[in-house]
Amino acid sequence: MPARDRSGPELAVLQAALLSAGVPVLPRVAVGARYLLAEAYTAAGGDWYDAVVLPDGALGLVVGDVVGHGVGASVAMGQLRAVACYCLESGASPAAVLSALDRFARGLGAHGATACVAVLDPVTGSVRVSSAGHPLPLLLTATGCRYLGRPAGPLATGARYTEAADRLADGDLLLLYTDGIVERPGVHPAQGGSELAEAAAHVRNELDGGPSAQRFCDAILTLLVRSTGYRDDVTLLAAHRHPPLGEVDLTLPDAPVAVTTTRTALDAWLSALGVDGLTATAIQHAVGEVVTNAVEHAYADRPGGPNTVDVHVELTATGVVEIAVTDHGRWRALADPPYRGMGLTMAVELVDDVRIERGRSGTTVRLRHRPRRAVTMSTRPAGTPIAAMPDEPFLAALTPDDDPDAVLVVHGPVDAAGAVELRDQLRSATGNGTVSRSVDLSRVTLLASAGVRVLHEAYDRSTAHRERLRLMAPQGSPAHHVLELVGLHPVERM
């Protein structure tokens, strides 16, 4: 029997690695994208996209298409993408970016490659676009939609590239795409362009609360691709301008309620940003650890107060989440018992930067993290977006409870309060370490340092009695990330 050809899956992995890992999150513009492969395990194509935050806070958007499939197309695509990013970050205009790509593509032999470049100022709404043999971008406004720019020759042809200028009001949406969405089976390209405009206007009107860039991309695929099928890769990149997102400002008592109040406010704020689940979890964990640290250590020498912890959260113009947690006391020195002092260490690992500023009037911990929204690369039309699950109450129970090999299943947030309950459940389920037990953490929505401490304690008790405590958390889950971070390596299944 001949060996199975695995070049398709491997090339798809290569293509995914060469594409942008996600799109930025900004205070005035929501960015969404979808990448639909032509078929399952197809040889990688040459579609590519990028969304780049420029030093002045402007947003650079690029979509391109390299002729052909396979390794050659993927490598050319990766090189063109790198050149486009460099030019944009250097301050080049859309037309200048295309001129540089044209010269580079000639040397690369990427004849017939196409690209569309846009630069959007989120504050003023001004946008400039230029196209090199690529379908023109579509602008959706409150009064209708229109294509921007004028056609020009593809890359590696020496064409002259011009720019079109326009302006996005709050609520307007700009869509860049590849020709796979308009050149569908049985659809003439001109008809495909008209259908795209009609579908875009329909989706914009149907989406409650105005267009969401990611939901817009998903809905366009659902509406057009499912009706006719498709033969080529489809790439969509949308930018939706909206009013600025507010900041989070909290003044809280030095009590455990500060942690839960912060988590609730931060969850709502991150949801409004559209941050993906793993990024939101990392930020939530880091901030929760810092707030817990302030509550536990800042006012030990003056209990009873009034003592407060201030939390300020904002998203900068260049897409960085900045958080400041401030107390007005003095941190007590740690007695250094086992499993203590991990909170700040975890925070440092979870976000991009953590800095501690100590002064006579208190301590401020500043956290910075640049979130990106993950982009789906799929082999099927988009379906209904999965809604985020609400935060569950903490629950832990043996299942089935009458089986000696029952698994301790844990649900919800394991924060300071949940950790107390988890400790009792673990002691009971393991006979204080004398019985081997499996613990299912796949449904845990938050695993704070207090919960980590409890798990370490239970693990050590079991090891001392030569028993096993098996922790189960699937790859990509909140618990798996934290357990790997602190050395409690989980298994994915029992």
Model confidence at 142: pLDDT above 70: yes
Q: Please tell me the predicted confidence (pLDDT) of residue 486.
A: 61
Q: Place 66 in a pLDDT band, splitting at 50, 70 and 90.
A: confident
DSSP 389: P
CA-CA distance, 347 to 343, in Å (whole number)? 6
Contact residues for 57 (Cβ-Cβ < 8 A; gap 6+): 121, 122, 123, 317, 318
- Cα–Cα distances (Å) from 209 to 159, 203, 205, 215, in that order, read 42, 12, 9, 12
**Domain boundaries defined on the chain:** 7-241, 248-373, 389-485
CA-CA distance, 98 to 101, in Å (whole number)? 5
DSSP 436: -
Model confidence at 14: pLDDT above 70: no
Identify the CATH number of the domain defined by range 248-373. Answer: 3.30.565.10
Q: What angle do CA 331, 332, 338 make, to 5 degrees?
A: 120
Three-class DSSP labels, 354-381: EEEEEECCEEEEEEEECCEEECEEECCC
Q: Give the mean pLDDT of 347-365.
A: 91
Contact residues for 150 (Cβ-Cβ < 8 A; gap 6+): 131, 136, 162, 164
Rg (CA), the chain: 26
The reported pTM is 0.79
- Return the minimum-mean-pLDDT range out of 121-125, 138-142, 451-455: 451-455
Percentage above 90 pLDDT, the chain: 47
CA-CA distance, 368 to 351, in Å (whole number)? 7
- Return the minimum-mean-pLDDT range out of 128-132, 188-192, 397-401: 188-192
CA-CA distance, 415 to 249, in Å (whole number)? 22
Model confidence at 386: pLDDT above 60: no
Q: Give the mean pLDDT of 151-159.
A: 86
Mean pLDDT of the chain: 84
Task: Decide if 362 contacts 328 (C-beta within 8 A).
Answer: yes
Edge to edge, what strands does the sheet with 126-132 contain? 45-53, 59-69, 114-120, 126-132, 164-167
Count of beta carbons in the 10 Å neighbourhood of residue 141: 16
Task: Decide if 48 contacts 61 (C-beta within 8 A).
Answer: no
Identify the CATH number of the domain defined by range 389-485. Answer: 3.30.750.24
Look at 18 and 331; give whichever has higher pLDDT: 331
Look at 62 and 202; give whichever has higher pLDDT: 62
Model confidence at 182: pLDDT above 60: yes
Topology given in CATH for the domain delimited by 7-241: Phosphatase 2c; domain 1 (3.60.40)
CA-CA distance, 217 to 200, in Å (whole number)? 9
Residue 243: what residue type? P
Neighbouring C-alpha atoms within 13 Å toward the C-beta of 234? 29
Model confidence at 219: pLDDT above 70: yes
Q: Give the mean pLDDT of 127-154.
A: 92
